[in-house]
Structure 1
Amino acid sequence: MEIGVFFYVLTGFALINIIYYFFYSKAGFGKTPQPQGDLKNAVSVIVCSKNEQENLKTLVPQLLEQDHPNFELILINDASYDDTRDVIEDFMSQDARVKMVDVVNNESFWGNKKYALTLGIKKAVNDHLIFIDADCTPNSKQWLSLMAVHLSEEKKIVLGYGGYQKVKNSLLNALIRFETGLTAIQYFSYAMSGNPYMGVGRNLAYTATQFYDVSGFMSHMKIMGGDDDLFVNQAATNKNTIVSLNPDSFTISIAKQSWSTWWKQKKRHINTASHYKGAHKFLLGLFYISQIGFVISAILGFVFGINWMIILGVVLFRYLIFWIVMGKGLSRFRESDIIILLPFLELLLILSQLALFVSNMVNKPKQWN
């Protein structure tokens, strides 16, 4: 093979990467969308919990302290076998805003979180719905107001950011936060460009009207997972979707602490992505292919290429753009401490995603929690 081929292949993949990163700069450098809603509108906060007795003891008091003037809190006990039901009943006895949906497994929807969430949505008395997971905590007492105020006559879906707590000297934690930040940079940038494709249930809002307009989760009820990203992929448009970039509107979760539990979680997430709309799968797939193509062609270029200085120049320029865009985006999402590790974390994530894709082809996950 001629020496020049490595340079042209590498440059091609690098160029595709750079185009994507310029597009992804919207999340870091774009203007914060202005809310169009009214805080006087009543909202329903919905939490789906399966064996979450300890997490609810932490989360519920923080939700009840939110500064929104008018809200109810719907706690879903999704067929838990711990004391989740007792914990919810205790909160109900203390505050009239707390309501419970007690889910008994249905043979047709055994272990399906979407079934539990549907029952919770039906229980809600308000049209404006705010979702947070049981293992999350709001970043501030203004979280609920900052998410809810984006819901309006036109904006029916609000995409929020759900980050993870920092753990010092943990490679897994750094990888999880990098992957979470990269994903957020992607779906925020797409949404800000008028092409929303996903959101995360750790921090998401939409109207009950919008939910019923698309028949809820019925088109993907049998698919495990996707109560957040598949719903948004189905229902979101360039007109009805907005993002919330105020740090006080973010949520924080405790990240997986072992590689095996993280691996299981990611297998489930990757499985749902295969059900995205065709255009979204193509665009996301092309980005990943350009990433892995860049890494492979760079290695081959250094090994077999004679003019390694030119190849090094292409590699350094690509990483400069990568560092600027990702650094700004991660800083906006309060993940700036991992910026120095970006090239290593990117490589580790690319290899992990490849291994997860192969693993999912062999053995698909079977339950949501």
Structure 2
Amino acid sequence: MLDNPGEIALYFFATVAGIQIIYFLFIFSRVAFYSRKFDLDHAPEGPVSVIICAKDEELNLQKNLPLVLQQRYHQHLKPTYEVIVVNDNSEDDTRYYLRSIEPGYPHYRHIEIKQAAKFIPGKKYPLSIGLKGAQYEHVLLTDADCKPSSTYWLSIMSQGFTDDKDIVLGYSPYHKKPGFLNKVIRYETFFSALQHLSFAMSGMAYMGVGRNLAYKRELFFRHKGFTSHQHLASGDDDLFVNAAATRKNVGVVIDKQAFTFSEPKQTWGSWFRQKTRHMSTGKHYRFGHKFVLGLFSLTHFLFYPAFIAALFFPPPIIWLALGIFGLKVLIQSIITYTAMRRLEESDLFKYSWLMDILMVLYYIIFTPALMFRSKNRW
């Protein structure tokens, strides 16, 4: 029995820190030490359908769609992929732009949706229409505001499909901009990717990000699309992956030439609303996924308070607590820095410990999103 409050505080802190160390050593290290190389010159280029859903995205499409249409993905000088843009009831001039570029790209077409689907909010209905209209079995999804990092994006992402991989997860960072908000957004995006990509490589894929996500049409229709969660505005990416993923059917592609960059939110309010909407789907994950994610988040949240509590006790408690703290800091720093380099986010490392402390506030602010319904909108 532990009768000494100092020993109780130390053992509690050691348990919290130990769980965190296990996550970093055995799960998050998979992104940090990802080593697969991709062939840019002799890769098999089977047919792929790229699908983009757009709603009032004329300016973003003008900027980014040509980069999708000009991918190096050809056989005998002919594109071996198609690009489908689903225009979902846009009120700007999106439809006129989409029509104007059709003559120049034989591998491109667009679908007009002129009537909203009742009781199916968000982009699940237009995405389903795009998937039904796709010619090819392999589909790659991105958004109108996403810019491929290179002309090899499609080629590298398609290499994620192998005989046993039905889902391919990519990385979609945000553009670097001045200001603290941009660093917070980019760090949160990095941290989310560190988790979901590492868990996927550990055989526990629980989500994907629709800005850079691929899967097979057969898998989509076998799982009846978005039927089980069509009443939710979000979840066209993470809830589908959560339901369709197995321990073996998910591949991960990490390559700087296969990223898709997005424009970050410019105000705290707009970012808060975006994160609240996205996180509201977490309560619909499988129980096992919620448990492992919840355990990490809980111990992450408790780490600093537990450490501070242990410092109020005299030696040897305080020295042991400092040693445990230093070990955790060392392991986390090595894996975080290596993973940031892998994901081309190494400029964020100097802010990483400040961001790690601020994650305590992040949990406090966004945890309610896991318990309450979000508004159903794009």
**What TM-score do the two structures reach when normalised by structure 1?**
0.94
Q: Is 1:15 the equivalent of 2:13?
A: no
Counterpart selection for 2:304 from 287, 292, 295: 295
Counterpart selection for 2:154 from 144, 151, 161: 144
Question: Equivalent residue of 1:150, what SS?
Answer: coil
Q: 1:98 to 1:295 in 2, by over 3 A?
A: same
The alpha-carbon deviation at position 38 of structure 1 amounts to 6.5
Q: Is 1:319 the equivalent of 2:329?
A: yes
Q: CA RMSD in A?
A: 1.9
Paired residue type of 1:322: Q
Paired residue type of 2:314: I
The alpha-carbon deviation at position 127 of structure 1 amounts to 1.0
Verify the 8 A CA contact 1:25 1:189 in the aligned structure 2: yes
Tell me, which stretches of 5 or more residues in structure 2 are unaligned?
75-79
Take 1:368 and 1:352, find their aligned partners in 2: how far apart are those partners? 23
Verify the 8 A CA contact 2:120 2:230 in the aligned structure 1: no
The alpha-carbon deviation at position 150 of structure 1 amounts to 2.2
Number of residue equivalences: 365
Counterpart selection for 2:205 from 196, 203, 207: 196
Verify the 8 A CA contact 1:33 1:242 in the aligned structure 2: no
Equivalence map 1:60-139=2 (5 Å): 60-69=65-74, 70-139=80-149
Report percent identity of matched pairs.
37
Who is 2:313 aligned against?
A: 305
Verify the 8 A CA contact 2:280 2:369 in the aligned structure 1: no
Tell me, which stretches of 5 or more residues in structure 1 are unaligned?
none
What does the per-residue CA deviation read over 1:98-125, in whole Å, with 9 as the maximum and x for residues that have no partner? 2112123435235431111000111111
Who is 2:285 aligned against?
A: 276
The alpha-carbon deviation at position 157 of structure 1 amounts to 0.9
Paired residue type of 1:40: E
Take 1:247 and 1:296, find their aligned partners in 2: how far apart are those partners? 37
What does the per-residue CA deviation read over 1:195-217, in whole Å, with 9 as the maximum and x for residues that have no partner? 21111101011111111111111
Verify the 8 A CA contact 1:33 1:243 in the aligned structure 2: no
Verify the 8 A CA contact 1:136 1:253 in the aligned structure 2: yes
Q: Is 1:25 the equivalent of 2:34?
A: no
Q: Is 1:238 the equivalent of 2:247?
A: yes
Who is 1:59 aligned against?
A: 64
What does the per-residue CA deviation read over 1:228-266, in whole Å, with 9 as the maximum and x for residues that have no partner? 111111111222211111211111111111110110011
Q: Is 1:251 the equivalent of 2:260?
A: yes
Verify the 8 A CA contact 1:182 1:326 in the aligned structure 2: no
Paired residue type of 1:339: F
Take 2:225 and 2:16, find their aligned partners in 1: how far apart are those partners? 39
Paired residue type of 1:11: A
Take 2:37 and 2:103, find their aligned partners in 1: how far apart are those partners? 39
Take 1:40 and 1:346, find their aligned partners in 2: how far apart are those partners? 41
The alpha-carbon deviation at position 54 of structure 1 amounts to 0.6
Take 2:58 and 2:376, find their aligned partners in 1: how far apart are those partners? 19
Question: Equivalent residue of 1:265, what SS?
Answer: helix
